C-alpha cells in the first residue's frame, strides 16, 4: 500500500512539473511574439500615458490589497485593472509584456519558488492573451498607433473578456492544485469561487475608467491614486483590527481565539495526512510573587520576554499563543510520537528556566507544562485543550515540570466522573470499610499497633483498593469527608479494643489537604474525646510530600497534634525529598521504611545499605524505625540484625477486615512495656538489654506456610 501511494505521489509530481513547464513555455512564447510584433514606431507611439500606467501595473503587483479574512492571504492585485487598460487602449503586445515583467518582478521580490514563478507568469500572460482573443472576435483591434476609443457599446465585449480571463485563470490554478494535492479538479475550481469572482470583477471594472481618463486627459490619471490610497488604507485598518482581535497586545503572540482557529485548521490537515500533533499548555510558576513583589510593570516585561523566548524556541509552522495571565500555549506541528512531544516540552521549559535580566535584577522562574497529543488523546481542539490543562495541573501538583496526559490519572473522564459521584454517595451510605494490618516489634514479634487501611465496597465493582479511588477524593475535594469517615471508624474500633484491655494505637494516613484544614486538629480532638480515648490511642501517618507542600503551615498543624499527644509517623521514608531540617524540627516519633527498599534488601546491597542508614538515622534522632513490606523470614532476620524497631507485612499478617482483626489480636497481643513514645527523645527501647539478638521470628510467622506476594 505504501509503495503504491508513493508511486502515485511521484506520478503527480511529474505531471505537475510537465504542466508547469507547458504553461511557462506558452507564456514565454506569447511574450516572444509580442516583442517581435512591436515595431520601433509602436514603442514611440505609446508615449507618457503608457509608461505612467506601466508604473501603476508594477506598483499594483508589488503591493496587493490585503484585507481582513482568511480567503486569500496574498491579497488582491489591482495591477490587473491597469493591464486591461493597456490591453483596451494599445492592444495585446504591450499588455502581455507589461504583465510578464510585473509578474516576474513581484514573484522575485516575494521570493517564490522557481516553479511558482514560471507557472504564475505563464498563466497570467496566457489569460490576458485569451481575453484579447475575445476582443478580436468582437472587432476590437487596438494598437499602439491606433488606441481604442471606448464607448458604451463595447462594454459587453469587455465584460466577456473579463469573464474569459477569470475562468481561464481559475482553471489553470485548479489543474495545478489538483495535481499537487491529489484532489479533484472540480473541488479546486469551485473552492471559494464566489469570493474570487467578486474581487476579480471589482478590479477589472476599474479598467474602462482608466481607459476613458487616459483618452480624455491622461494627466488626470494621478487623481486615481487618491481612491486607491483609500482602498489600501481601509484594508490596512481592517488588518490592524483583525490583528488586534486575534493577538495578545502585550506579547504580540496569538491569543486564545486565534489559537483555536489555527489549531482547528492545522488539526484538520494533520488528520487528513495522518500526522500527529501536540498541544502544550504552559503556566509560569510563582509568577504572582513577581507581580506582588516587583509590580505589574515588571511582571508585564517578564511576560513579554517569556513570549519572545517561546516564539524563538519553536519551529516554523508551530503556533505560540498567550491565553491570558501567565498562561501560554504552543501547538507543535512537527512531532512524530508522544516521547518526541515530551522532549519538545522539556526543551521549552528549559528555555523559560534561563535567568531573566531586567535592568539590574536577575529573575529566575520555572514553568509547569501539560502535553496532550492528537489523535492519541483527542480529535478536536476543545478536548485537546482540556486534556493538556489536566496534564499541566498534574505537572504542577507533582512538581515534575512536564507531564503527558494519561487518561487513568484524569479525574474528569466520564468513567471517573461517574466513579466520583458514586464515591460521594458511597461515603454517605457507609460503603467505606476498614481493614487493619498489625505492626509488631522486634525481636519477639509483640503486637504494638495496627494500621487502618480503607477499602470501598463499590456496588458495581466490588471491593476497591485505595489506589483506585483516593486520587478521586483528593482531586474532587472529598478527601476531608473521606478522612473523617476513616478516623471515625478507626477510633470506634480502637475504643472497642481499649475498653477490652487491648490498648493498641491505631494508625491512620492523612493527606496534605487534611493538615491544611484548620478544623482538622479540632476534629481529631473531638473524636478522641467522643470515644473516651487518650491521644496515644491514635497515630497519624504522613508522607514526605506533606512536609514539602507548605512547611510552615504543615508544621503548625503537626505541632498542635504533637502537643495534644497524638503520635506522628513519617510514612514511605526514602522515596521523597524531605529536608532533614524539617524532620528534626517536627514532632515525628517514627519513621517507616518504604517497602521498595525492604523487599530488595536481601538481594541488593545498595538497598540493604539504605535500610541500615535509615535505621541508624532514626535512632540518632531518637525516633523509632518501622519496616514495611516484610514478607519473608530472611527479611525479618536481616532487619532484626540491623536493630530495626518494628515491622509490618505479609509475613506477620495481611490487612484483616473488621470482623477478623479482633480475634487475631486477642490471640497474639502480649504486654510489652519496653515499647514507648519518643516525644521526649528517648530511644525506642528503654531497656536495651531486652533486645535479644537470638530471639526467633514470631511463632505465628514460623508456623505459617508463607507465600511471597505484593501487598495491595
| Residue range 294-343, pLDDT digits in tens | 888 888 888 999 999 998 888 888 999 998 888 999 999 888 888 899 99
| Strand-pair partners of 540 | 508, 568
pLDDT above 90: percentage of residues in the chain:
30
- Looking at the domain assignment, is residue 70 inside a domain? yes
The three three-digit cell numbers of residue 170, written as one number:
481559475
The three three-digit cell numbers of residue 473, written as one number:
477524593
Mean pLDDT of the residues in the chain = 82
**Among 379, 409, 439, residue at a domain's last position:** 409
Q: Is residue 307 a contact partner of residue 320, using CB atoms and an 8 Å limit?
A: yes
pLDDT at 474: 75
Task: Kindly report, residue by residue over 97-155, the tens digit of the pLDDT.
Answer: 999 999 999 889 888 888 889 999 999 999 999 999 999 998 888 888 888 777 778 88
- C-alpha atoms less than 13 angstroms from C-alpha of 571 in its C-beta half-sphere: 16
**Among 229, 245, 261, residue at a domain's last position:** 245
479 and 559 in one domain? yes
Query: For residue 634, what pLDDT band results from cuts at 50, 70 and 90?
Result: very high
Query: For residue 709, what pLDDT band results from cuts at 50, 70 and 90?
Result: very low
514 and 464 in one domain? yes
316 and 180 in one domain? no
pLDDT at 223: 79
Nearest-5° angle of CA 193, CA 59, CA 118?
60
> Which CATH number covers residue 125?
1.10.1760.20
- Tell me the range of 290-304, 394-408, 539-553, 652-666 where mean pLDDT is highest: 652-666
112 and 14 in one domain? yes
Among residues 557, 544, 545, 615, the alpha carbon closest in space to that of 587 is found at: 557
218 and 305 in one domain? no
- Looking at the domain assignment, is residue 416 inside a domain? no
pLDDT higher at 676 or 346 = 346
- Looking at the domain assignment, is residue 709 inside a domain? no
- Looking at the domain assignment, is residue 582 inside a domain? yes
pLDDT at 413: 59
User: Does the structure show a pLDDT above 70 at 376?
Assistant: yes
User: Does the structure show a pLDDT above 80 at 701?
Assistant: no
547 and 615 in one domain? yes
Distance of CA 42 to the CA centre of its chain: 66
Query: For residue 691, what pLDDT band results from cuts at 50, 70 and 90?
Result: very low
Integer-rounded Cα Rg, in Å, for the chain is 40
For residues 357-376, give the mean pLDDT. Answer: 86
277 and 182 in one domain? no
434 and 335 in one domain? no
Among residues 431, 438, 432, 439, the alpha carbon closest in space to that of 454 is found at: 432
**Among 218, 245, 272, residue at a domain's last position:** 245
pLDDT at 581: 56
User: Does the structure show a pLDDT above 80 at 545?
Assistant: no
Among residues 147, 142, 148, 136, the alpha carbon closest in space to that of 47 is found at: 147
pLDDT higher at 295 or 628 = 628
Cis peptide upstream of residue 375 (ω within 30 degrees of 0): yes
pLDDT higher at 528 or 378 = 528
E strands, 312-445, are 319-324, 327-332, 356-358, 361-363, 367-374, 402-404, 432-441
The three three-digit cell numbers of residue 435, written as one number:
481493614
72 and 170 in one domain? yes
Tally of domains in the chain:
3
71 and 122 in one domain? yes
Q: Where are the alpha helices (H) located in 399-541, listed in sequence order? A: 414-428, 470-476, 479-499, 512-516, 520-530
- C-alpha atoms less than 13 angstroms from C-alpha of 395 in its C-beta half-sphere: 28
Task: Kindly report, residue by residue over 482-520, the tens digit of the pLDDT.
Answer: 999 999 999 999 999 999 888 999 999 988 778 877 788
**Which residue range is the domain that position 22 belongs to?**
2-245
Tell me the three-class secondary structure of 94-156, residue by residue: HHHHHHHHHHHHHHHHCCCCHHHHHHHHHHHHHHHHHHHHHHHHCCCCCCCCCCCCCCHHHHH
> Which CATH number covers residue 499?
3.20.20.450
- Looking at the domain assignment, is residue 422 inside a domain? no
241 and 282 in one domain? no
Give one word for 249, left, alpha or beta, with left for phi > 0 and alpha for psi -120 to 50.
alpha
- Looking at the domain assignment, is residue 425 inside a domain? no
State pTM to two decimals.
0.48
Task: Kindly report, residue by residue over 222-263, the tens digit of the pLDDT.
Answer: 777 777 777 667 666 766 776 677 788 888 888 888 888 888
- Looking at the domain assignment, is residue 446 inside a domain? yes
174 and 132 in one domain? yes
- Looking at the domain assignment, is residue 420 inside a domain? no
Amino acid at each position: 500500500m505504501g509503495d503504491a501511494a508513493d508511486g502515485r505521489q511521484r506520478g503527480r509530481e511529474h505531471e505537475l512539473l510537465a504542466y508547469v513547464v507547458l504553461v511557462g513555455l506558452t507564456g514565454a512564447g506569447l511574450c516572444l511574439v509580442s516583442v517581435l510584433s512591436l515595431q520601433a514606431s509602436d514603442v514611440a507611439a505609446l508615449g507618457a500615458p503608457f509608461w505612467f500606467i506601466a508604473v501603476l501595473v508594477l506598483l499594483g503587483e508589488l503591493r496587493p490589497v490585503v484585507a481582513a479574512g482568511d480567503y486569500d492571504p496574498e491579497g488582491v492585485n489591482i495591477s490587473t485593472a491597469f493591464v486591461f487598460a493597456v490591453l483596451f487602449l494599445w492592444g495585446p503586445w504591450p499588455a502581455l509584456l507589461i504583465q510578464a515583467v510585473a509578474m516576474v518582478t513581484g514573484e522575485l521580490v516575494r521570493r517564490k519558488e522557481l516553479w511558482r514563478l514560471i507557472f504564475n507568469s505563464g498563466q497570467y500572460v496566457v489569460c490576458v492573451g485569451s481575453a484579447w482573443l475575445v476582443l478580436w472576435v468582437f472587432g476590437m483591434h487596438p494598437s499602439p498607433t491606433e488606441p481604442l476609443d471606448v464607448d458604451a457599446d463595447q462594454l459587453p465585449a469587455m465584460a466577456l473578456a473579463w469573464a474569459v480571463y477569470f475562468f481561464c485563470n481559475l482553471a489553470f490554478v485548479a489543474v495545478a492544485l489538483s495535481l499537487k494535492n491529489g484532489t479533484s479538479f472540480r473541488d479546486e475550481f469551485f473552492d471559494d469561487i464566489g469570493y474570487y469572482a467578486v474581487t476579480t470583477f471589482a478590479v477589472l471594472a476599474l479598467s474602462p475608467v482608466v481607459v476613458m481618463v487616459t483618452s480624455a486627459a491622461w494627466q488626470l490619471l494621478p487623481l486615481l491614486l487618491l481612491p486607491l490610497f483609500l482602498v489600501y488604507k481601509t484594508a490596512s485598518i481592517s488588518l490592524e483590527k483583525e490583528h488586534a482581535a486575534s493577538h495578545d497586545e502585550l506579547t504580540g503572540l496569538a491569543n486564545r481565539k486565534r489559537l483555536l482557529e489555527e489549531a482547528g485548521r492545522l488539526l484538520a490537515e494533520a488528520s487528513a495526512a495522518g500526522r500527529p500533533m501536540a498541544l502544550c499548555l504552559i503556566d509560569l510558576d510563582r509568577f504572582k510573587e513577581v507581580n506582588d513583589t516587583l509590580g505589574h510593570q515588571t511582571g508585564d516585561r517578564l511576560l513579554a520576554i517569556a513570549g519572545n523566548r517561546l516564539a524563538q524556541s519553536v519551529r516554523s509552522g508551530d503556533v505560540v499563543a498567550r491565553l491570558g495571565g501567565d498562561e501560554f500555549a504552543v501547538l507543535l506541528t512537527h512531532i512524530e510520537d508522544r516521547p518526541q512531544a515530551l522532549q519538545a516540552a522539556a526543551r521549552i521549559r528549559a528555555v523559560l528556566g534561563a535567568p531573566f535580566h531586567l535592568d539590574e535584577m536577575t529573575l529566575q522562574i520555572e514553568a509547569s507544562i501539560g502535553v496532550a497529543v492528537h489523535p492519541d488523546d483527542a480529535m478536536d481542539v476543545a478536548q485537546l485543550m482540556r486534556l493538556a490543562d489536566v496534564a499541566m495541573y498534574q505537572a504542577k501538583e507533582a512538581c515534575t515540570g512536564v507531564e503527558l496526559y494519561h487518561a487513568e490519572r484524569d479525574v474528569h473522564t466520564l468513567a471517573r466522573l461517574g466513579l466520583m459521584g458514586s464515591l460521594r454517595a458511597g461515603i454517605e451510605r457507609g460503603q467505606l470499610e476498614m481493614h487493619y494490618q498489625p505492626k509488631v516489634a522486634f525481636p519477639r514479634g509483640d503486637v504494638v499497633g495496627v494500621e487502618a487501611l480503607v477499602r470501598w465496597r463499590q456496588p458495581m465493582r466490588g471491593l476497591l483498593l485505595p489506589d483506585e479511588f483516593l486520587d478521586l477524593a483528593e482531586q474532587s475535594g472529598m478527601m476531608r469527608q473521606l478522612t473523617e469517615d476513616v478516623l471515625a471508624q478507626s477510633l470506634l474500633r480502637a475504643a472497642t479494643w481499649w475498653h477490652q484491655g487491648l490498648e493498641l494505637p491505631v494508625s491512620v494516613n492523612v493527606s496534605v489537604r487534611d493538615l491544611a484544614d484548620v478544623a482538622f486538629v479540632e476534629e481529631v480532638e473531638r473524636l478522641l474525646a467522643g470515644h473516651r480515648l487518650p491521644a496515644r490511642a491514635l497515630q497519624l501517618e504522613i508522607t514526605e510530600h506533606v512536609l514539602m507542600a507548605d512547611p510552615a503551615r504543615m508544621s503548625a498543624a503537626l505541632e498542635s497534634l504533637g502537643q495534644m499527644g497524638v503520635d506522628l509517623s513519617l510514612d514511605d521514608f526514602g522515596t521523597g525529598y524531605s529536608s532533614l531540617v524539617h524532620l528534626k524540627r517536627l514532632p515525628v516519633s517514627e519513621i517507616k521504611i518504604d517497602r521498595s527498599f525492604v523487599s530488595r534488601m536481601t538481594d541488593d546491597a545498595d538497598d540493604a545499605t539504605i535500610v541500615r542508614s535509615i535505621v541508624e538515622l532514626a535512632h540518632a534522632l531518637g525516633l523509632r524505625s518501622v519496616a514495611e513490606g516484610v514478607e519473608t523470614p530472611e527479611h525479618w532476620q536481616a532487619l532484626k540484625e540491623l536493630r530495626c524497631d518494628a515491622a509490618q507485612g505479609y509475613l506477620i499478617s495481611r490487612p484483616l477486615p473488621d470482623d477478623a482483626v479482633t480475634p487475631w489480636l486477642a490471640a497474639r497481643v502480649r504486654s510489652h512495656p519496653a515499647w514507648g513514645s519518643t516525644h521526649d527523645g528517648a530511644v525506642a527501647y528503654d531497656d536495651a538489654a531486652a533486645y535479644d539478638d537470638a530471639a526467633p521470628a514470631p511463632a505465628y510467622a514460623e508456623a505459617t506456610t508463607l507465600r511471597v506476594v505484593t501487598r495491595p
